[in-house]
Amino acid sequence: MRIGHGIDVHRTSHDVTRELWLGLVCIPDGRGLVGHSDADVATHALCDALLGAANLGDLGRHFPDTDPEFAEAPSRRLLEATLALVRDAGYRVTSADITIIAERPKLAYFMPTMSEELSALLATPVSVKATTAEGLGALGRVEGIAATAVVLLEEI
């Protein structure tokens, strides 16, 4: 068995037309995040945890922000490609847990859908939780959103 941990942080966009994506779900009342892809911090943290557990490096190594192929890429695409890399390395996911750190928007309503979307793609339960930064620092000032993820892999 292998354990992986991932973290991702993106700053809030000033572009009011940019959509906010978290855990493969579009959050209608949220300000989008700045990033080369859709900036879905929850899914990016999950990808990093998966790659780390399989000893495959990180998201930037496989999908660099200098590659125009990944400009505005949906994180679903990145996660599908990451899962293929993990399978090719001889592992399958047995468990995943994500925590999103955001003052706003409130995410309780969306977390079950995030869990369902991610669980379906990973073919295993994915827990999604959220917390705030209690008003502290850049995250507390709503200058961005962060996420952490932990995964458990087993050899196929």
The mean pLDDT of 16-20, rounded to a whole number, is: 94
Convert 104-133 to b/e letters by CB count within 10 Å (16 or more is b).
ebebeebbeebbebbeebbeeebbbbbebb
The mean pLDDT of 9-25, rounded to a whole number, is: 96
List, in order of start, the domains of the chain with CATH numbers.
2-155 (3.30.1330.50)
Token pair for 106: 């409130």
In sequence order, what are the beta bridge partners of 100?
130, 147
Q: Is the whole model's pTM more than 0.95, yes or no?
A: yes
In sequence order, what are the beta bridge partners of 92?
154
